[in-house]
Amino acid sequence: MAFRRHAAWRALAVFISLGAALAPGITSAQSTLATVSGGVTDQSHAALPGATVTLTNTATGAERTAVTGGAGEFSLPNVDAGTYVMVVRLQGFADATRNVELLARQIVRADTELQIASASEKIEVTAVRPVIERERSTIDSSISGQDISKLALNFRATNNTSPIVVATLAQGVQQDSSGQISLAGAMPFMTSFSVDGISTQRVRYGGPSRELFPSVESIEEFKVTTANNNAEFMQVTDITTTSRSGTNQLHGTAFWFNQNSNLSATTQFTPRDAGGNPVKPDIEANSFGLSGGGPIVRNRAFFFGTYEGVRRPNEVTLSQVVPPDAWRGGDLSSASGPILNPATGQPFTGNQIPVNPTSAKILESFYAHQNQSTGAAINAPNFIVNAPGDYTVNGFDGRADAVLTSSQKVFGRLTWKNVDDRSPGGSD
């Protein structure tokens, strides 16, 4: 048993990822990119070869283009998640425009029907039908970074600031008492975890390396796959996280979260002293930071970054059983049966045992004195104290994107996090 064992450790996580959206036909081992495909037909449902399909990212202005083949089919693989405007053009027909919203690793089909345009006017038809994903049999759900930031996140300003717990907002995701995440009833080690296609899974024990995830402010999307996961992700289920990139619009946010024990209630499980009064630890925690992004070169290069800090001086209530003071003096009269002298085999008179000075000194070094008026009883905690601790985090996430050509893009991301945890510990 230890009265106040301060565990001090420092963690430094540096995570760099580099990715590229390459020409059609070239894909990475664990891609986070989406695919748009479909067919182009006229009003009689006849295929229209030679139609030009242009997909434009509304945030960055990046364009991808494809031409329909003999069967009127087109495919645009390796597309970043985001909101797009798709325009289909063919001479003699009115342009067809539709909005397409893509999620990470999504494969959607956007079939389009063109109408014949008169020689004197140009008719634009806006398709409002939702895109259909029918190319995969997986069951998954996504949570956008914007949705996450609108929630009252109860892990901010705590000793567990990793955003991986946000995954529990998706259907079929549970978290056990030790913090392990399970998808669709599977064991925690049966789920793969990645950020921007790079694995963040602990190799030895499974589960995520929590400190390798960026701040919530730098997350674009959580994608949770609970059934029929692709073989490329190795595990039965999967959680894919994508980071946020800059856009053509300069924008930023500031945030602050506070946790104060003066506003916290007690429960029936709160440790109580001998008088029945709750012993509530003192906590004053703050999580704060800034995030922002924008263009470096409009339509060509972008940046996004986040700083997040946590300052959490706090107390932890230790509720333990230590040797009663009477026992320290050799008075074991509270014992229900006689205590025998191991040298003679005879009981000690009144269960009063001579105290060896060396043993008493060792006992003094290992155990604190009781501070509850429980006498010599050991069926309830006789030592309750609020032990001080401190938890500090400084973290930075940075990402840069560059569009090289209409079919090539490169990005780099850096996550740097310094965690200083000096928390009290103890065991009975």
pLDDT tens for 273-295 read 767 777 777 778 888 999 999 99
Angle at 103 between CA 105 and CA 143, to 5 degrees: 115
Q: How confident is the model at residue 230 (pLDDT cuts 50, 70, 90)?
A: low
At 362-392, the pLDDT tens digits run 988 888 898 888 888 888 888 888 888 888 8
Of 127, 144, 173, the position where a domain reaches its end is 127
Measure the CA–CA gap between 208 and 310, rounded to whole angstroms.
21
**pLDDT in the model for residue 237:** 77
**Listed residue (15, 49, 20) closest to 32, CA to CA:** 20
Measure the CA–CA gap between 225 and 242, rounded to whole angstroms.
14
Per-residue pLDDT, averaged over 308-320, amounts to: 85
User: For residue 113, is it within any domain?
Assistant: yes
Return the CATH number at 49.
2.60.40.10
Domain tally for the chain? 2
User: For residue 115, is it within any domain?
Assistant: yes
Angle at 210 between CA 208 and CA 212, to 5 degrees: 100
**pLDDT in the model for residue 140:** 59
Q: pLDDT: is 210 or 418 the higher one?
A: 418
User: For residue 99, is it within any domain?
Assistant: yes
Q: Decide if 38 contacts 109 (C-beta within 8 A).
A: yes
Tell me the three state secondary structure of residue 178: coil
Residue 134 has pLDDT above 80, yes or no: no
Tell me the three state secondary structure of residue 137: coil
Measure the CA–CA gap between 125 and 98, rounded to whole angstroms.
8
User: For residue 200, is it within any domain?
Assistant: no
Q: pLDDT: is 28 or 193 the higher one?
A: 193
- Domain of 335 in residue numbering reads as 323-366
Q: Highest mean pLDDT range out of 16-30, 53-67, 108-122?
A: 53-67
Q: pLDDT: is 15 or 329 the higher one?
A: 329
Q: Which residues pair with 313 in a beta bridge?
A: 390
Residue 250 has pLDDT above 80, yes or no: yes
Of 127, 142, 167, the position where a domain reaches its end is 127
> What DSSP assignment string belongs to 66-112?
EE--TTSEEEEEEE-SEEEEEEEE-TTB--EEEEEEE-TT-EEE--E
User: For residue 270, is it within any domain?
Assistant: no
Structure tokens at 130: 């939702």
Q: pLDDT: is 305 or 129 the higher one?
A: 305
At 235-248, the pLDDT tens digits run 667 788 889 999 99
**pLDDT in the model for residue 246:** 92
Per-residue pLDDT, averaged over 394-421, amounts to: 89
Measure the CA–CA gap between 400 and 84, rounded to whole angstroms.
20
Q: How confident is the model at residue 168 (pLDDT cuts 50, 70, 90)?
A: confident
User: For residue 120, is it within any domain?
Assistant: yes
By mean pLDDT, which of 37-41, 162-166, 256-260, 304-308 is the weakest?
Answer: 162-166
User: For residue 337, is it within any domain?
Assistant: yes
Of 62, 96, 127, the position where a domain reaches its end is 127
Q: pLDDT: is 270 or 13 the higher one?
A: 270
Q: What mean pLDDT is reported for the chain?
A: 79
User: For residue 410, is it within any domain?
Assistant: no
